[in-house]
């Protein structure tokens, strides 16, 4: 059975994040993309537009010296959405992050138009990036 195209978009996004490939990420994002980042930490807010989202993703990589890993374990697909159940791991300033969560993507014309993040322990994510 072939992989659903929404899963391919999400999977390619996680691969590009792991490699720090901003060019590939740019190709996968709609121009008017919005990332919703929950919490109360310094990175928590809505990022609107491709440039803002790419800046956010670059900052994630920089602040974790490239150790941040979003590791999908399974996917659920809907008409214009795909959800990824994943592990969230990283190292930063002597601290470790090892959480689970879900990210929900809205896909339009084969590109990510919106993403919501739902870490299982949002307080640990806030503390990690503080």
Q: Are strands 29-37 and 111-119 parallel, antiparallel or unpaired?
A: parallel
What distance in Å separates the CA atoms of residue 64 and residue 69, rounded to the nearest whole number? 10
**Contacts of 83 by beta carbon, 8 Å cutoff, 6+ apart:** 75, 76, 77, 102, 103, 104, 105
What distance in Å separates the CA atoms of residue 19 and residue 24, rounded to the nearest whole number? 10
Q: What is the pLDDT of residues 38-69, one digit of tens each?
A: 999 999 999 999 999 999 999 999 999 999 99
What distance in Å separates the CA atoms of residue 71 and residue 61, rounded to the nearest whole number? 15
Q: Where are the domains of the chain?
A: 5-129
One CATH from 3.40.1450.10, 3.10.450.50, 3.30.43.10, 3.40.50.10490 for 5-129 = 3.10.450.50
104 pLDDT above the threshold of 90 = yes
Strand order in the sheet with 81-92: 45-48, 29-37, 111-119, 95-108, 81-92, 69-77
Sole residue written with tokens 């490239």: 66
Q: What is the pLDDT of residues 73-92, one digit of tens each?
A: 999 999 999 999 999 999 99
């Amino acid at each position: 059975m072939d992989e659903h195209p929404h899963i391919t978009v999400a999977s390619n996004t996680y691969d590009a994040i792991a490699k720090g490939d901003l060019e590939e990420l740019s190709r996968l994002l709609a121009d008017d993309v919005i990332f919703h980042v929950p919490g109360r930490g310094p990175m928590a807010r809505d990022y609107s537009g491709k440039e803002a989202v790419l800046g956010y993703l670059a900052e994630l990589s920089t602040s974790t010296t490239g150790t941040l890993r979003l590791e999908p374990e399974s996917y659920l697909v809907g008409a214009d959405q795909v959800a990824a159940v994943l592990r969230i791991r990283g190292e930063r300033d002597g601290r470790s992050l090892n959480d689970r969560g879900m990210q929900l993507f809205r896909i339009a014309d084969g590109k990510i138009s919106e993403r919501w993040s739902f870490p299982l322990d949002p307080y640990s994510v806030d503390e990690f990036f503080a």
